[in-house]
Every structure is written in structure tokens, then in C-alpha cells.
Amino acid sequence: MDTREPLIARLVARARLLRYKWFARGPTEAEWEARLRRVVAESVEATLPWLPKSGARLVDVGANSGVYTELVRAARPDLEAWLFEPVAAHHAACAARFADAPSVHVEHLALGDVDAPMTIWKPKHNPGGNLLTEELMRRRETRMDFRSEDVRCRVFDDYAKEHAIDRVDFVKSDTEGFDYRVLRGMFGFLARCEPKPVILAELLAPHIHHDWNAQLAVLERLYALGYARVDLSKMQDVQDFLFVPVGRRRPE
């Protein structure tokens, strides 16, 4: 048995990672802005049919620099929105984008199922791939270069009570495998909220998710609250799913 091939493969992989760490660069702000506008276009298209023409209310979890909400707001100018972004640089860009929009509330927070300090890991090549789950970061660190940042996590149910939020029309969550914990922290609010919001959440497939059963358990609780079941049988590795309350109709 030739043991040299696995060793050579490991050395090559190590060399590639070092080259990436030393010489590769992430996108510029302009490049990232352009890429983000392309990436969120589909999410915006999925959102708008569920927002009333006036008085719409939106929660944007994992807001990044705020491009998604900006595009939604272009079609719903009187939108009231709550944006949550834990990465300091993204939060600053987001806050600057909406500095003259008093109905857009930008919070320097992650959302989840605990009120606690956390660490977020930021990959150099992808400013939208920030991870709050260490296990997912460890799986990728052999081919990605991460930087850590201390962040604060809040539970949306608590936040909603503190800020007297009793209704939203739409929730968008894009948190790189943390979405099930975001939703878990919303259950109290969702139980009180009538009509319930439509939810667009990013899910990870079984071979990628670090705790698939926990993700499924969260979905079952959503269904128990009155959301229609979604078909996961042919899901992509990473895919956005729309959760619509049974009987919920699009606004005219």
C-alpha cells in the first residue's frame, strides 16, 4: 500500500490554504455591493407579494449592509423595518445606509435563542458567509481563512416585548445555519402575532447541517403554530424556504 498519496494530497491542500491566506483578497466594498444586489434579488421578489402596499412591517435577520431591505423599501416607501446585523463593519454600513430613514431600526445584534455574548467567524473571501456556529467553521477552516469577532445575541421574543412590536408582515432570516435558532427565539412572538408573518428562512441540507434533527424540530413547531408544511425531499445544499401560515392570502 502506497502511503505517499494521502500525504501528498494533504500537503497540496495545506499549500493551497496557505496561498489563500497569504495572497488572496476578499471583494472590495463596491464589488460586494454589486454581488449582494444580485444575490438578494430573488429574496426581494419572494418578499414583495406578501407585503401590503402601505403600512408594511419587516424583520431582516442577518441584514449585512442592508441591501435587501433597501430594495424592498424602494417598492414599499413607508416600510417599517427592524434590521439585525452582528458584524460591526456590516452594521456600520447598514446604519449609514438608513441614517435618514427613522422607520428603519438598525440593531448591532445577532438573533437567536439565548441572550448572551457569542463569537462570529468571518471568512475573508465571502462577507456574507459569517458563521455563528463553531462546528460549521471547524468543518471549513481547512480551506477557508476565518477571522473571529465578539458579538451580542438577543432573543427576538424579548426584543419585541421591549419595543412593543405586536405585528410584522414578513421575516427574512439569512444566518448561515443559525436560522433554526433565530426561529426558536421567535416562537413566543409568533404565537401572539395575528395574522402571523410569512417567513423566508435559509435551511441547510442533512449532510451539511451540524444538527439536522434540531432544525427539523424547529420546523415542526412552526407547523404546530399554523404554518403550511414545506417539502424538503429535494432540497439543495443551502436553500431558502418560504413558510406561509395556512390560509394566509397575499395582500391585494
Which sequence spans correspond to the domains of the chain? 27-243
132-138 contact pairs (CB < 8 A, 24+) = 132/86, 132/175, 132/176, 132/177, 132/178, 133/176, 133/177, 133/178, 133/210, 135/210, 136/176, 136/177, 136/210
At 30, the pLDDT band (50, 70, 90 cuts) reads confident
CA nearest neighbour of 167 among 194, 137, 131, 134: 194
Task: Give the DSSP letter of residue 163.
Answer: T
- Residue 19: what pLDDT? 46
Cβ-in-10-Å burial (0-12, 13-18, 19+) of 116 comes to exposed
Rg (CA), the chain: 19
- Residue 18: what pLDDT? 44
Q: Over range 58-77, report the average pLDDT.
A: 97
pTM over 0.85: yes
Q: Over range 196-225, report the average pLDDT.
A: 97
Do residues 157 and 190 touch, judged by C-beta distance below 8 A?
A: no
Mean pLDDT across the chain: 91
Task: Give the DSSP letter of residue 102.
Answer: T
Grid cell 445575541 — which residue?
Answer: 153
In this structure, which topology does domain 27-243 adopt according to CATH?
Answer: Rossmann fold (3.40.50)
Residue type, position 192, single letter: R
Which residue has better confidence, 29 or 247? 247
- Residue 82: what pLDDT? 98
> Which residues in the chain belong to E strands, given as ranges?
57-61, 80-84, 104-107, 110-112, 116-123, 146-155, 170-173, 198-204, 238-243
pLDDT at residue 12 tops 80: no
Output phi, psi for 55, to 5 deg: 75, 20
Grid cell 424547529 — which residue?
Answer: 218
At 5, the pLDDT band (50, 70, 90 cuts) reads low
C-alpha grid cell for residue 220?
A: 415542526
- Residue 6: what pLDDT? 66
- Residue 17: what pLDDT? 47
- Residue 20: what pLDDT? 43
pLDDT tens digits, 88-107: 999 999 999 999 999 999 99
Question: Which of 7-11, 92-96, 171-175 comes out lowest in average pLDDT?
Answer: 7-11
At 25, the pLDDT band (50, 70, 90 cuts) reads low
Give 221's Cβ-side CA count (13 Å radius): 17
CA nearest neighbour of 231 among 247, 69, 223: 223
Handedness of CA 170, 66, 61, 204 (dihedral sign): positive
Q: Which residues have a Cβ under 8 Å from the Cβ of 96 and sit 6 or more positions away?
A: none
CA nearest neighbour of 197 among 66, 75, 103, 56: 56
- Residue 161: what pLDDT? 98
Q: Over range 120-148, report the average pLDDT.
A: 92
- Residue 9: what pLDDT? 53
- Residue 180: what pLDDT? 98
- Residue 142: what pLDDT? 84
pLDDT at residue 54 tops 60: yes
- Residue 32: what pLDDT? 83
CA–CA dist 221, 210 (Å, integer): 19
Q: Over range 161-185, report the average pLDDT.
A: 97
- Residue 77: what pLDDT? 97
CA–CA dist 93, 72 (Å, integer): 17
Of 15-24, 112-121, 139-148, which one has max mean pLDDT?
112-121
